Structure 1
Amino acid sequence: MSPDFAKSRGKVTSVIASIFTGRRWSLRNMILPGVVLLLIAFGWYIVLRQTEILTQTTIAVYQQTELAMVRAVARSVEQYISEQIEEHGRADVAEFEQEIFERFIAPIHLLKNGDAWIYAPDHVVFDRSSDFPQAYRGKNMAQIFAIQAEHGASHYQEMTEAVMNAREGVGWYIWLPDKGREIAAWTPVTIGDLVWVIGLSTPLPEIMESTGAASQIRTSVITMALASGVALALLTAWVISTSRRKQAEMALAEEHSLLRTFIDNIPEAIYVKDTESRFLIANKVVAQLMGTTPDKLIGHTDFDFYSEELAREYYADEQAILSSGQALINKDEPNINPLGHKRWILTTKVPFRDSQGKIKGLVGIGWDTTERKGAEEALRQSQQKYASLVDSLDGIVWEADAETFAFNFVSHQAERLLGYPVERWLTEPTFWKDHIHPADQEWAVNFCVQSTQEKRQHDFEYRMLAADGRIVWLRDIVTVMVENDHPVRLRGVMIDITEHKRIEAEREALIAELEAKNDELERFTYTISHDLKSPLVTIQGFLGYVEQAALSGDMQRMQADLARISNAADKMQRLLNELLELSRIGRLTNPVKAVPLSQLAREAVELVAGSLAQRGVEVVIAPDLPLVYGDHPRLREALQNLVDNAVKYMGDQPQPRVEIGGRLDGSQTVIYVRDNGIGIDPANHDKVFGLFTKLDQKSEGTGLGLAIVKRIVEAHGGRIWIESDSVGQGSTFCLTLPDGTTKSLSE
């Protein structure tokens, strides 16, 4: 053992060593009283110093908490008043300062007796329902404190000057001596042309109690008081031990044992180290943490028990304390003993000095916080698990204010489903309303507002606009959170039902298509039975006439009857051919290829040239018609039927005319066949494309021509419609083919 260590140990621990060993102490008549009192003074110095540091640290931390709160309230007040001025035209801020107080200030509860207040430019705003004396109302802060000074208020001048000049700050004052110091923080908020100051204050005793600092201080004071009492008792016993030395030594030994028992059984780790970080004193808790016994610690350092890395960390902290004289307060640090067991210790280390003020070492105390750390880690994992669970749901979990619908929580699925960052949901107060589909916006918002006011759980389906322009169907399941019979929060989950809606729409379309086909089949069956039966009846009837004519030798009559039978058979043949053609149109049987529309038009006109010439119809085919892609024979057949239909319904038009052309409709090419015939009543535009539909039952044909045209166009993925204002104005049959099957006229 080095001489320095021996000297240090002799000065600091000779009393405690003698207590535990029971050996006599040289020059004790002169030294013992001074050493005992020095140790007591030193102990109280540590307690008072720790109390002072802990109190100042607690005040500083709490003031920052208060300051953060008043800043947040200030932002809310400033935003609310701006909305009231800009959206509701409430220009006189003084008219609703009490409203601001009740909405934003009164709800703030800081511990038991904390206060929140507003300082307007010339007066302090109080809650009208409070029991503040009328003498304070309408007064500025300096006037109020001047009145309160008669009741003991003090130390308010610095805060009053800062508040009345609208400067942000923290401080303390005394309102009533019984309440002690009140810790305050305040910040200005600009209200139009005015500047208010919003402040919070809390009695210091309540702060100390709420943070646990008061409990920690009481523990230290009680511990020191007990130690001081024991030490003074020992000293007293020594003074009166002249005549009863043996008895006194026995009593002293008991007191020593009691003190050691107290130190060793206190739940905190207590130790003293010299300037080289060697242990001078250590209780059982310290020894257990280091995996050894107290006596084996004396004279050793952390390097003898901990890993190199951990020991260096401890050593660096302690040397910083010894060199600066500044205490290390409440550092949460790991403790890993030689067996590898890890615990967390909340450590406070303070330097101790000799009578000349020279630092001779340090005193440390540590609280085992492993269980608290474990609880914190379990809470963190629980929160992480909850967040992971929320994000794994195939929907947007959210929470919002029941009055404003402003979100305060949105799960990350929101960005995946709709493409907007979560920050926008949280920072834009009207984000939800602004991104509802315009067709759903009014009713969806009104429905949610009404349901919330009625405190009724609800769910509804509406569309939202995604960031990439998609329309997303959502089912929103909402729970209304009620406090004091008032809705305060909304919680819910938005489920993407876009695919469900698509499938539902397809199902409805298929059902409608099936119903339409069933109706068409029913009409088809009826018409077939009627139209096929009619020629058969004709044939059967005229066969009898033929037989009579043959028997009577009337050849002229027999030839006429046979002609009628032949016409009926031809009609049946045409009907059967067109029915067969109609059944094949649902699929394209020829290769799809490019063919000029002008060529198709000429071929179609050529096929009906006889009827055109017979009626004297002029056909005009527009130049520069587009290139058409499709089944060549089918498209030609469609044009042929349209031209033939125009000829049939030309009426008594003296100058019959048919035009085949094309026009641009936006980015789409429309092909048309226009005539100047009798026209079609708009009420019959859709009807004429049905099976066996003939608006003029006396006209030629089977009524299948336009149905065949419609089938051909739809088989190519296009559509067909009629443009005819009224009867007698002619008709225009228009058809389109989807993108990729028709080249635009603009090319």
Structure 2
Amino acid sequence: DEYAAVLASLLNASPAAIVFVDVEGRVRFANRWIETFLGVDPKPFVGRPYAELAEALSRSLADPRGILQHPADPEACSLDSWSEAVEVARPERRHLVRTVGPVRGPGGRYLGCIEVFIDETGAIERQRLLEERNRELDAFASRLAHDLKTPLVSLKGFADLLARSAGPGLDERHRMFLERIRTSADLLNEMVDGLRELSRASRPAGELHDLDPLPLVKLAAEHLAAEADEAGVRIELPESVPLIRCERAKLFQIVQNLLANAIRYADPSKPDRWARISFESRGDRVVLEVADNGRGIDPEDLPHLFEPFRRGKSAGQTPGMGLGLALTHRLAQACGAGMEVLSRPGDGARFRVSFPAASAAPASPAA
């Protein structure tokens, strides 16, 4: 009895609503958080059939079907545990995660079923606010890019006109000033275009489809063939790939950006330079990997690799705005894909993008 009292105190102190149902289907314990989260005083239901408590709890839910169709039934939960999201409509709106699972004693003897409700309202609200702020920032970036585009086009146009009409009559010093204006205008134009692409990439993908990535991979390699030849980089493509679920245009841009990055940061000191694209099925995901034996990435730069307008130490004098990987990361997120990178200076880099697998995914044959 003393240990039971201690256990009850611990469970009442827990920041989760907890119900224990014995093998006969009767409520043996329900802590105070049941009333806090769901507005139901559990004390009258202790010793009563769980179905009565479930009926009372269901009246607090926005959708009562979950708790009624999948109750904390001792027979059902003796086999497995499960979790589901539930929304509380009253006494106040909350977002809970409900988990139901078996309780076993010494020797694995089945004692009953435990039902736990964890309040995720704060985390969900913070996520909603973060997404809202991100949408506002993307909208601001899009508007800013649009508003800057017109004066930039005018600036570049007048600078070009001045170069054609008055350039031959200028001395070397003033021609240098004029060229700096034109170069700066081009640079600002690239930045504005980058901002616009970045805001577009953050938009959720359209309807996702099961698709064969191989034709898009080959097309990206064809587009970059001349650049690869100039850099002395051999592009290696897979012979077959599993089907994935994605938006076609976004997948093409992801592959092309990662392959272009591998070519751009090739190590000229290595006689054999390569960039390799591969796909691997991992359960309900398909992982795209773009690997190379280029310069690699400094460990200090890895945490900031997907931040826009940030260039790492290994970039050196290589042209770029520091937008390619940030854009690729946002494209992957818009498709429901995760992205990671493994790299060490001098050992190249391996970028991995984990896509949802297609609903039925036989490998595509090599052409």
Question: Fold-level match, TM-score > 0.5?
Answer: yes
Change in Cα spacing, 1:466 to 1:598, as seen in structure 2 (3 Å) is same
Partner of 2:349: 731
Partner of 1:198: none
Match of 1:692 among 309, 316, 334: 309
**Contact 1:674 1:732 (8 Å CA) reproduced:** yes
Distance 1:716 1:671 in 2: 13
TM-score (norm 1): 0.31
Matched, 1:394 2:47: no
Partner of 1:664: 281
Q: State the 1:644 CA deviation.
A: 0.9
Distance 1:602 1:495 in 2: 52
Matched, 1:624 2:260: no
Q: State the 1:639 CA deviation.
A: 0.7
**Contact 1:720 1:735 (8 Å CA) reproduced:** yes
Distance 2:42 2:179 in 1: 79
Distance 1:580 1:527 in 2: 6
Partner of 1:509: 127
**Contact 2:246 2:356 (8 Å CA) reproduced:** no
Distance 1:515 1:464 in 2: 29
Which secondary structure state, in structure 2, belongs to the residue aligned with residue 410 of structure 1? Answer: coil
Match of 1:677 among 294, 298, 314: 294
Q: State the 1:663 CA deviation.
A: 2.0
Which secondary structure state, in structure 2, belongs to the residue aligned with residue 721 of structure 1? Answer: strand
Matched, 1:707 2:333: no
The C-alpha deviation readout for 1:400-425, integer Å capped at 9, x for no partner, is xxxxxxxxx43334773661459x9x
Which secondary structure state, in structure 1, belongs to the residue aligned with residue 129 of structure 2? Answer: helix
The C-alpha deviation readout for 1:61-119, integer Å capped at 9, x for no partner, is xxxxxxxxxxxxxxx9xxxxxxxxxxxxxxxxxxxxxxxxxxxxxxxxxxxxxxxxxxx
Q: State the 1:656 CA deviation.
A: 1.6
TM-score (norm 2): 0.59
Matched, 1:412 2:49: yes
Change in Cα spacing, 1:495 to 1:722, as seen in structure 2 (3 Å) is closer
Which secondary structure state, in structure 1, belongs to the residue aligned with residue 43 of structure 2? Answer: strand
Larger radius of gyration: 1
Distance 2:223 2:50 in 1: 63
Partner of 1:743: 361
Match of 1:466 among 97, 100, 111: 100
Q: State the 1:640 CA deviation.
A: 0.6
Match of 2:253 among 637, 642, 647: 637
Which secondary structure state, in structure 1, belongs to the residue aligned with residue 289 of structure 2? Answer: strand
Q: State the 1:587 CA deviation.
A: 3.9
Q: State the 1:641 CA deviation.
A: 0.7
Distance 1:527 1:580 in 2: 6
Change in Cα spacing, 1:561 to 1:588, as seen in structure 2 (3 Å) is same
Which secondary structure state, in structure 2, belongs to the residue aligned with residue 605 of structure 1? Answer: helix
Q: How does 1:333-352 map to 2 (within 5 A)?
A: none
More helix by share: 1
Distance 1:711 1:572 in 2: 22
Distance 1:509 1:588 in 2: 16
How many residues are matched?
283
Partner of 1:716: 335
Distance 1:463 1:582 in 2: 34
Change in Cα spacing, 1:670 to 1:504, as seen in structure 2 (3 Å) is same
Match of 1:597 among 199, 213, 216: 213
Distance 1:703 1:713 in 2: 17
Which secondary structure state, in structure 1, belongs to the residue aligned with residue 263 of structure 2? Answer: helix
Partner of 1:196: none
Change in Cα spacing, 1:507 to 1:627, as seen in structure 2 (3 Å) is same
Change in Cα spacing, 1:531 to 1:731, as seen in structure 2 (3 Å) is farther
Distance 2:156 2:291 in 1: 37
Change in Cα spacing, 1:699 to 1:622, as seen in structure 2 (3 Å) is same
**Contact 1:596 1:626 (8 Å CA) reproduced:** yes
Q: How does 1:354-503 map to 2 (within 5 A)?
A: 394=40, 396-397=42-43, 409-413=46-50, 416=54, 419-420=72-73, 466-467=100-101, 497-498=117-118, 501-503=119-121
Distance 1:527 1:678 in 2: 33
Distance 1:635 1:708 in 2: 12
Change in Cα spacing, 1:678 to 1:519, as seen in structure 2 (3 Å) is farther
Code of the aligned partner of 1:619: I
Which secondary structure state, in structure 2, belongs to the residue aligned with residue 611 of structure 1? Answer: helix
Code of the aligned partner of 1:623: E
Distance 1:465 1:706 in 2: 38
Change in Cα spacing, 1:535 to 1:393, as seen in structure 2 (3 Å) is closer
Q: State the 1:619 CA deviation.
A: 0.6
Change in Cα spacing, 1:699 to 1:395, as seen in structure 2 (3 Å) is farther
Q: State the 1:716 CA deviation.
A: 1.3
Q: State the 1:734 CA deviation.
A: 0.6
**Contact 1:658 1:673 (8 Å CA) reproduced:** yes
Structure 2: gaps of 5 or more residues: 2-34, 55-66, 84-95, 104-113
**Contact 1:625 1:745 (8 Å CA) reproduced:** yes
Q: State the 1:594 CA deviation.
A: 4.1
**Contact 1:535 1:572 (8 Å CA) reproduced:** no
Partner of 2:268: 652
The C-alpha deviation readout for 1:538-595, integer Å capped at 9, x for no partner, is 999999888875335x69x95x877665554444443333333333334467764443
Code of the aligned partner of 1:694: R
Q: State the 1:627 CA deviation.
A: 2.0
Q: How does 1:244-263 map to 2 (within 5 A)?
A: none
Q: State the 1:673 CA deviation.
A: 0.6
Q: State the 1:674 CA deviation.
A: 0.6
**Contact 2:156 2:182 (8 Å CA) reproduced:** no
Distance 2:207 2:73 in 1: 47
Code of the aligned partner of 1:690: E
The C-alpha deviation readout for 1:376-423, integer Å capped at 9, x for no partner, is xxxxxxxxxxxxxx9x97353279xxxxxxxxx43334773661459x
The C-alpha deviation readout for 1:431-456, integer Å capped at 9, x for no partner, is xxxx9x9xxxxxxxxxxxxxxxxxxx
Distance 1:693 1:561 in 2: 28
| RMSD, matched Cα | 5.1
The C-alpha deviation readout for 1:184-236, integer Å capped at 9, x for no partner, is xxxxxxxxxxxxxxxxxxxxxxxxxxxxxxxxxxxxxxxxxxxxxxxxxxxxx
Which secondary structure state, in structure 2, belongs to the residue aligned with residue 639 of structure 1? Answer: helix
Which secondary structure state, in structure 1, belongs to the residue aligned with residue 241 of structure 2? Answer: coil
Q: State the 1:682 CA deviation.
A: 4.0
Change in Cα spacing, 1:467 to 1:733, as seen in structure 2 (3 Å) is same
Percent sequence identity is: 21
**Contact 1:679 1:727 (8 Å CA) reproduced:** yes
Distance 2:115 2:274 in 1: 59
**Contact 1:394 1:495 (8 Å CA) reproduced:** no
Tell which deviates more after alignment, 520-529 or 675-684.
Answer: 520-529
Distance 1:635 1:618 in 2: 22
Code of the aligned partner of 1:394: V
Q: State the 1:685 CA deviation.
A: 2.9
Change in Cα spacing, 1:746 to 1:680, as seen in structure 2 (3 Å) is same
Distance 1:592 1:692 in 2: 29
Q: State the 1:722 CA deviation.
A: 0.9
Distance 2:279 2:286 in 1: 7
